[in-house]
Structure 1
Amino acid sequence: MARVTRPLRVLIVDDDALVRAGLSLMLDGTAGIAVAGEAADGDEVSAAADAHAPDVVLMDLRMPRVDGITATRRLRARTNPPEVVVLTTFDSDENILRALRAGASGFLLKDTPPDEIVQAVLRVAAGDPILSPRITRRLMDRAAVEAGAHQRARAALDRLTPRENDVVLAIARGRSNAEIAAELFMGVATVKAHVSSVLTKLGLDNRTQIALLAHDAGLA
């Protein structure tokens, strides 16, 4: 976690000069916070961090040369790195997860009310990760869907024989019928019979669906 001193030093990273100006005006008007510097692209972030020693970085995602996720990953790899709050209009699940995996401590949308952005900066500086309510709900919904898919897949595979499960795992690994036959010491005709049985028992149409089911079950 960043070592926080007062005033809290914030670096604003966004390729839109108007956005930087608006954020700077808002944050500089808040007691205990000072805008230490700005950067217009991800490739400027390391130098700006060296020059301004920020405690928190407000990071845009889409920038012309180096995106915010790459810049966040580079920052978080530093000794005593600043905390990073992503502030973006792009709220796809992929962007959210990639940003969090890169080390961001927060993810906010640009339509977040100004006072909530200020509070997010203060909270992440104190070691309290923050997500906008809309993002939190989406991640919870995604987790629930994935958990449900996993449980359903496991229940489906429990209806198969051990040998059929061996065939399912081999299919998930991309093996052909001949390769499965060689690996499992059975004839190709027997493999085909097992595949047909799996499709019938599970109500599936093809091998791709078998592979997807294995993936949902955590086998591949």
Structure 2
Amino acid sequence: MTTGTTVTVLIADDEEITRTGLRTLLSARPGLAVIGEAADGDRALALAAALRPDVVLMDVRMPGTDGIEATRRLQTAFPEPPRVVVITTFENDEYVYDALRAGAAGFVLKRAPVAQIADAVRMVATTDCVLFPDAVRRLVAARPAPPPRPLRGAPALTGREVEILRLIAAGLSNPDVAARLVVSPETVKTHVSNLLAKLGARNRTQAVILAYECGFVVPGEGHGVTPTGRH
């Protein structure tokens, strides 16, 4: 994602006081630069095209084109789209779940300490793990369990890819997975790329959401997920 030492950020929120506060607080953190602000999804899309930020910090409830639709459009607008971090008031907001399904890399709460928001922005820009996997698991667990349905591409997953999907759902990064499986990080990276392609997922979080939805993995106690073997 980012090639330099500074992560560039675009803030999209319809409340000016929220944008101003986030810009002031994040700009004071080392390694972050806020390069634009948008009050709605259409403006966020236009600024993303003009400024090419590393990360878009996206509110989901905005007038006109909301954050969900803006996130969805960003995924197809660029060969390498910016990572999207949803910023929300309520953790179990249905809009947040829909934004993750649309391709957002993760979410943070507006009331979170600024250090946590800054860390979330850096994490999605520079690392390869699911952002706050326990929070994603709780978000999924709070929803009524959908009827199991086939997971597109699941039958084509190899046994090793299934194992890696389970581990990334638990929040492990490529180096962590490599250490667990005693393989090289490059091998893990190849497996992850292959499983994302097979599932039609744009990132790890979307792959995990798809796997949860289809009953391929289910929220588990304490350490992420438990495989069900249901394809």
TM-score normalised to structure 1 length? 0.60
Q: Does residue 109 in structure 1 map to residue 109 in structure 2?
A: yes
Question: 2: CA distance between counterparts of 1:141 and 1:64?
Answer: 26
Q: SS in structure 2 opposite 1:34?
A: strand
The aligned residue for residue 67 of structure 2 is 68
The aligned residue for residue 79 of structure 2 is 79
8 Å contact 1:85–1:104 — kept in the other structure? Answer: yes
8 Å contact 1:61–1:90 — kept in the other structure? Answer: no
Q: 1:110 to 1:86 in 2, by over 3 A?
A: same
8 Å contact 1:27–1:118 — kept in the other structure? Answer: yes
Question: 1: CA distance between counterparts of 2:46 and 2:96?
Answer: 25
**AA at the equivalent of 1:72:** T
**AA at the equivalent of 2:80:** N
Structure 1 or 2: larger helix share? 1
Summarize deviations over 1:156-209 as a string: whole Å, max 9, x none. Answer: xxxxxxxxxxxxxxxxxxxxxxxxxxxxxxxxxxxxxxxxxxxxxxxxxxxxxx
Q: How does 1:33-112 map to 2 (within 5 A)?
A: 33-77=32-76, 78-92=78-92, 94-112=94-112
Tell me the percent identity: 46
CA positional deviation for 1:52: 1.4
Q: 1:25 to 1:132 in 2, by over 3 A?
A: farther
CA positional deviation for 1:45: 1.4
Q: SS in structure 2 opposite 1:146?
A: coil
Q: 1:132 to 1:24 in 2, by over 3 A?
A: farther
CA positional deviation for 1:131: 3.4
Question: 1: CA distance between counterparts of 2:27 and 2:132?
Answer: 22
Q: SS in structure 2 opposite 1:130?
A: coil
Structure 2: give runs of 5+ residues left out of the alignment: 149-213, 216-231
The aligned residue for residue 183 of structure 2 is none
Question: 1: CA distance between counterparts of 2:38 and 2:93?
Answer: 26
Q: Does residue 137 in structure 1 map to residue 142 in structure 2?
A: no
Question: 1: CA distance between counterparts of 2:114 and 2:120?
Answer: 10
Alpha-carbon RMSD across the aligned residues, in angstroms, is 2.5
Question: 2: CA distance between counterparts of 1:20 and 1:133?
Answer: 27
CA positional deviation for 1:76: 1.3
Question: 1: CA distance between counterparts of 2:142 and 2:22?
Answer: 31
The aligned residue for residue 118 of structure 2 is 118
8 Å contact 2:92–2:139 — kept in the other structure? Answer: no
Q: 1:31 to 1:46 in 2, by over 3 A?
A: same
Q: Which of structures 1 and 2 has the bigger CA Rg?
A: 1
Q: SS in structure 1 opposite 2:61?
A: coil
CA positional deviation for 1:98: 1.0
Q: 1:44 to 1:100 in 2, by over 3 A?
A: same
Question: 2: CA distance between counterparts of 1:38 and 1:132?
Answer: 28
**AA at the equivalent of 1:38:** E
Which moves more between the two structures, 85-94 or 119-128? 85-94
Question: 2: CA distance between counterparts of 1:92 and 1:140?
Answer: 10
**AA at the equivalent of 1:136:** R
Structure 1: give runs of 5+ residues left out of the alignment: 151-215
Question: 2: CA distance between counterparts of 1:49 and 1:92?
Answer: 27
Question: 2: CA distance between counterparts of 1:132 and 1:68?
Answer: 21
Question: 1: CA distance between counterparts of 2:132 and 2:85?
Answer: 9
Which moves more between the two structures, 39-48 or 122-131? 122-131
Q: SS in structure 2 opposite 1:62?
A: coil
